[in-house]
DNA sequence: TTGTACGCGTTATCAA
DNA sequence: TTGATAACGCGTACAA
């Protein structure tokens, strides 16, 4: 800036005003002259120096277990979209669900003076909360049941409703025996979905049956392996799965057993990923609006940063069922 | 730092030495006292101020078309892994292949004084090159045929070899009529793969046949739609696809037509994504080592940053064939 | 309409 | 073993 000022024969104050578009009081002629020199010299504003004065960096930290997991990828992308739109840039932080990596990143972000932090953590941990207490920067957490201090924004996906709608869809088609093949998790959403499953059944006068609920891993092999080993409870005509990969596993098993989908068996997945649409038949699934969730996380976080309102907020985001080809009326035998 | 200094009754210089571990000459007692206060006060070093002095930010920019594309996700993850390992943090920049977004990010990164930039761009563009010329920061580009200035590191995936190996695998199994269903692209790798296909055939004494090459989009519908419309050239017993999704499209079509895979038709995909392993049969495919490529990009970039050696480098990365269930000997009719 | 001077939080140098 | 101070590049009062 000093260099530019000298070249143009003006002071740095003048250059500063111009590059920051606070140039109401500078002559059009000098404005143009300075801008031209800026262009010619390939000058870039040094935001480091600026931030020292302004006390903000227009930078956020994005903490995510693993960007390779489709769910997090979409959410991250939504976060990034909103961030650019608002003039912010994101630091990408993968933690692999390791508390050490997470803390190490948290420290790094503080050192880098980020204006806020988005935490899309999959684990529930109190250790982290303790650590967070020293972090006096606004942050936004997704799907956390932890009770953070006041500068937190909590965004919650409505897992209860997503599950409820799925089961209701099956009940509406006439299914009576609906299995729930859930994924293993210590997170609160597992319990919420379970409630959704149970409530939907009871609301429609169907007794809850423990034998119809099974737990396995969140992938193709998990679901496939479970059915291969245990088969179906007699008269089961539909399965709700923990995610689309599990639904795919069920589909593969059904094919092998010559069970027609959806003729003999209806299947519902969860997440509405590409998997639900490349399979044949295409899978009915619950869309959680990951991209939107990412956008909301950033939007709410920035609002918290801008306002002086430091009360904890909770923002719910609805899920909705996407009906495709893997569900239909149960055959009458 | 000043605050800590005052609390401990020492100078900022002393505190600085201690937090930077340049404390050979400070008394153990004061060291401990300062460290304790740092801990108690929840003090974090301000890297903004540090960077103003040291002239580096330990920060890199990661420019990528879209993190949601599995190929870029993996590469990005590899880049991030290497970055943390080396003490660097990444700015995440999705461009959606928009030249405007890219330039806007490039400017932002310069303003943020990044030490280097990784460009995993999918488009080939000279405009960008012109723009880059003003960017006097080291950068690493993946799969670009553009001839950049000396501070660039170029990493190239060996698409020729990947394709060559795939075709050779089919020839080894006894296939004579091998279709190449390629994806539409303006990138140089398209041409390289095509050469790989041709050369492998010729090397094995099989004449190249124009009719066996078709172009469609890089997804399930592209491949499925093409075959549905045009069918197979008579006597074709194998297909090389542009990526795994296309291979999946071929598989779906084959199922519909009651064509057995690999009995009647062998299929090879490209990228070794999860798709090649969730399908049935599992798809033989070419692994491009995306994660490794990401690591290499960062590693080479950092070497360039550290060294004063400013000559353009080119680093090749091999691909290799992963044989699974979708390829086999052609049936003799 | 433009310029001067100061402060932002650090690091490095050199003196005490 | 410790401390004083200049410099880094910018934004902003206030003065001219």
Helix axes B99-111 and B126-133, enclosed angle (nearest 10): 20
A56-158+290-317 and A159-288 share one fold: yes
Q: Which CATH number is associated with domain A56-158+290-317?
A: 3.40.50.2300
Is it the case that residue B5 has pLDDT exceeding 90? yes
Phi, psi (rounded to 5 degrees) for B181: -100, 95
**A146/A156: higher pLDDT:** A156
Collapsing DSSP to helix, strand or coil, A254 comes out as helix
Collapsing DSSP to helix, strand or coil, B43 comes out as coil
CA gap B144, A76 in Å, rounded: 26
Cβ contact, residue pair B112, A248, below 8 Å: no
Residue B218 is classified by DSSP as S
**Nucleotide showing the shortest C1' distance to residue B47 CA:** C10
Q: How far is the CA of A13 from the C1' of C4 (A)?
A: 9
Q: Answer yes or no: are the C-beta atoms of B283 and B276 closer than 8 Å.
A: yes
CA gap A323, B7 in Å, rounded: 64
Check whether residue B49 has its CB closer than 7 Å to nucleic acid strand D. yes
Phi, psi (rounded to 5 degrees) for A19: -70, -20
Query: Which bases of chain C are contacted by protein, using any atom under 7 A from a CB?
Result: 1-5, 7-13
Smallest CA-to-CA distance from A282 within B231, B227, B224 is with B224
Give the pLDDT score at B129. 65
pLDDT 10s digits, A271-323: 999 999 988 899 999 999 999 999 999 999 999 998 876 677 889 999 999 99
Give the pLDDT score at A305. 92
- The helix (run of H) or strand (run of E) holding residue B319 is none
Which residue's structure tokens are 């997170």?
A187
Mean pLDDT of chain A: 92
pLDDT 10s digits, B248-300: 999 999 999 999 999 999 999 999 999 999 888 999 999 999 999 999 999 99
CB < 8 Å from B in window 252-311 of A: 252, 255, 275, 278, 280
Helix axes A70-85 and A290-306, enclosed angle (nearest 10): 40
**Nucleotide showing the shortest C1' distance to residue B13 CA:** D3
Give the pLDDT score at A126. 62
Q: Are strands B89-94 and A89-94 parallel, antiparallel or unpaired?
A: antiparallel
Sign of CA dihedral A123, A129, A131, A133: positive
Angle at A25 between CA A19 and CA A26, to 5 degrees: 60
Which of A48, A80, A84 has the CB atom closest to B51's CB atom? A48
Residue A21 makes CB contacts below 8 A (sequence gap 6+) with none
Mutation site, B58, B92, B94, B105, interface A, largest A CB count within 10 A: B92
Is it the case that residue A333 has pLDDT exceeding 60? no
Q: Where are the alpha helices (DSSP H) in chain A?
A: 2-8, 12-19, 28-41, 47-54, 70-85, 99-111, 126-133, 159-173, 188-203, 220-230, 244-256, 275-278, 290-306
* Paired residues of A208 in beta bridges: none
Check whether residue A56 has its CB closer than 7 Å to nucleic acid strand D. no
Which residue's structure tokens are 């920060």?
B59
Smallest CA-to-CA distance from B238 within B173, B189, B193 is with B173
pLDDT 10s digits, A130-150: 677 678 899 999 988 777 767
Give the pLDDT score at B280. 85
Give the pLDDT score at B128. 67
pLDDT 10s digits, A222-260: 999 999 999 999 999 999 999 999 999 999 999 999 999
Which of A51, A67, A107 has the CB atom closest to B67's CB atom? A67
The secondary structure of chain B in percent helix, strand, coil, rounded to multiples of 5, reads 45, 15, 40
The secondary structure of chain A in percent helix, strand, coil, rounded to multiples of 5, reads 45, 15, 40
- The helix (run of H) or strand (run of E) holding residue A59 is strand A59-64
Phi, psi (rounded to 5 degrees) for A254: -60, -40
Instruction: Provide the whole-model pTM.
Output: 0.93
Residue A210 is classified by DSSP as G
Burial (Cβ within 10 Å: 0-12, 13-18, ≥19) of residue A332? exposed
Q: Answer yes or no: are the C-beta atoms of B201 and B229 closer than 8 Å.
A: no
* Paired residues of A178 in beta bridges: A238
CA gap B160, B115 in Å, rounded: 33
Smallest CA-to-CA distance from A112 within A128, A141, A135 is with A135
- Residues of chain A with C-beta less than 8 angstroms from the C-beta of B67: 67, 73, 76-77, 80
Give the up-direction half-sphere exposure of residue B137: CA atoms within 13 A in the CB hemisphere: 25
Q: How far is the CA of B17 from the C1' of D4 (A)?
A: 15
Is B76 in CB contact (< 8 Å) with chain A?
A: yes
Give the pLDDT score at B313. 80
Q: In Å, what is the CA distance from A9 to each residue of A24, A44, A46, B140?
A: 19, 19, 21, 38
Burial (Cβ within 10 Å: 0-12, 13-18, ≥19) of residue B9? exposed
Topology classification of domain A159-288: Rossmann fold (3.40.50)
Burial (Cβ within 10 Å: 0-12, 13-18, ≥19) of residue A240? buried
Give the pLDDT score at B125. 66
Residue B305 is classified by DSSP as H
Mean pLDDT of chain B: 92
Which of A89, A245, A248 has the CB atom closest to B108's CB atom? A89
pLDDT class of B136 with cuts at 50, 70, 90:
confident
Cβ contact, residue pair B92, A94, below 8 Å: no
Give the up-direction half-sphere exposure of residue A207: CA atoms within 13 A in the CB hemisphere: 3
Query: Nearest CA to CA, how far is B236 from chain A (Å)?
Result: 25
- Residues of chain A with C-beta less than 8 angstroms from the C-beta of B49: 52
Which of B46, B81, B89 has the CB atom closest to A108's CB atom? B89
Residue A250 makes CB contacts below 8 A (sequence gap 6+) with A181, A223, A224, A227, A239, A241, A265, A267
Cβ contact, residue pair B107, A44, below 8 Å: yes
Is it the case that residue B241 has pLDDT exceeding 60? yes
Smallest CA-to-CA distance from A80 within A95, A67, A96, A99 is with A67
The residue of chain A nearest to residue B72, with distances taken between CA atoms, is: A68
pLDDT 10s digits, A160-217: 999 999 999 999 999 999 999 999 988 888 999 999 999 999 999 999 999 999 999 9
pLDDT 10s digits, B67-125: 999 899 999 999 999 999 999 999 999 999 898 899 899 999 999 999 999 999 877 66
Smallest CA-to-CA distance from A243 within B285, B274, B250, B221 is with B274
Cβ contact, residue pair A42, B134, below 8 Å: yes
Length of chain A: 333
Per-domain residue ranges of chain A: 2-45, 56-158+290-317, 159-288
């Amino acid at each position: 800036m000093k260099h530019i000022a000298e070249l143009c024969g003006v002071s740095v104050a003048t250059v500063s005003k111009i590059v920051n578009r606070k140039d109401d009081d500078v002559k059009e002629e000098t404005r143009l002259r300075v801008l031209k020199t800026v262009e010619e010299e390939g000058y870039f504003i040094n935001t480091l120096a600026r931030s020292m004065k302004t006390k903000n960096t227009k930078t956020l930290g994005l903490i995510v277990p693993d960007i390779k997991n489709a769910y997090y990828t979409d959410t991250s992308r939504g976060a990034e979209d909103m961030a650019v739109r608002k003039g912010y840039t994101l630091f990408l932080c993968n933690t692999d669900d390791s508390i050490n990596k997470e803390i190490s990143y948290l420290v790094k972000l503080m050192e880098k003076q980020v204006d806020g932090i988005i935490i899309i953590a999959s684990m529930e941990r109190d250790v982290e909360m303790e650590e967070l207490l020293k972090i006096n920067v606004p942050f936004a957490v997704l799907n956390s049941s932890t009770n953070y201090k006041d500068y937190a924004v909590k965004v919650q996906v409505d897992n209860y409703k997503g599950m409820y709608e799925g089961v209701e869809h099956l009940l509406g088609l006439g299914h009576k025996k609906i299995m729930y093949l859930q994924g293993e998790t210590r997170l609160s959403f597992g319990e919420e979905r379970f409630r959704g499953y149970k409530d939907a059944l009871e609301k429609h006068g169907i007794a809850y049956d423990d034998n119809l609920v099974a737990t396995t891993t969140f992938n193709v092999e998990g679901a496939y392996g479970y059915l291969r080993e245990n088969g179906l409870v007699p008269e089961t005509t539909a399965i709700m799965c923990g995610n689309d990969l599990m639904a795919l596993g069920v589909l593969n098993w059904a094919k092998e057993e010559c069970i027609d989908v959806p003729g003999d068996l209806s299947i519902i997945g969860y997440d509405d990923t590409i998997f639900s649409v490349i399979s044949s038949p295409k899978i009915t699934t619950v869309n959680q609006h990951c991209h939107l969730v990412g956008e909301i996380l950033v939007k709410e976080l920035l609002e918290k940063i801008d306002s002086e309102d430091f009360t904890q907020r909770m923002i719910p985001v609805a899920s909705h069922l996407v009906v495709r080809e893997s569900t239909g009326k149960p055959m009458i035998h």
